[in-house]
Structure 1
Amino acid sequence: MNKAELIDRASAAAGASKKDTGEILNAILSEMAAALSRGDKVTLVGFGTFEVKERAPRTGFNPATMEEMEIPALKTVFFKAGKNLKESL
């Protein structure tokens, strides 16, 4: 499912216009991104938790040259499914 399909289904379920539903979804996603960029967790009870975690630096290799190279630490978004979501699968 992509964003447009999500808006279609959510607007039908809520009986709202696609335009309003799209604006609300964009606002929610924007606030979630802002919270994550501040380092906050975003918890949607029953659905799951989004949080930023840092991956440790590590040594890898360049497949083209087979030379070792240092891969720097990087931040990534991690999602942990909530109980209700796990049970619905």
Structure 2
Amino acid sequence: MTKKELAEKIAETHDLSKAESEKIISSVFDEISAALKSNTEVAIPGFGKFSVSQRAARQGLNPRTREKITIPASKSAKFKSAKQLKETINN
């Protein structure tokens, strides 16, 4: 399901215009992104938790030249689904 399809479904379910629905969805995603950018965990009961995962710098190998390279430290978004969401999916 795409963001547009999600917006259409929510607009239909809650008697909103598609534009209003898309604006709300974008706001939710923007707020989650802003919280993660400031290293804040976002927990949505019954759905799951968004958090930031940090990877330390490490040594790697260039597969073409076999030269050792340093892979820099990085951050990525992580999602852990709630028990209720897992049960919904599995039933």
TM-score, structure 2 as length reference: 0.91
Q: How high is the sequence identity, in percent, across the aligned residues?
A: 39
Name structure 2 gaps, 5 residues minimum.
none
Q: How many residues align?
A: 89
The residue number in structure 1 matching 2:70 is: 70
Distance 2:63 2:13 in 1: 49
* Corresponding residue of 2:4: 4
The residue correspondences of 1:7-86 to structure 2 (distance < 5 A) are: 7-86=7-86
Q: Which structure 1 segments of 5+ residues have no match?
A: none
Q: Can you list the C-alpha shifts for 1:8-35, whole angstroms capped at 9, x where unaligned?
A: 1111121211111011111111111111
Cα drift, residue 62 of structure 1: 1.0
TM-score normalized by structure 1?
0.93
- 1:71 deviation in Å? 0.8
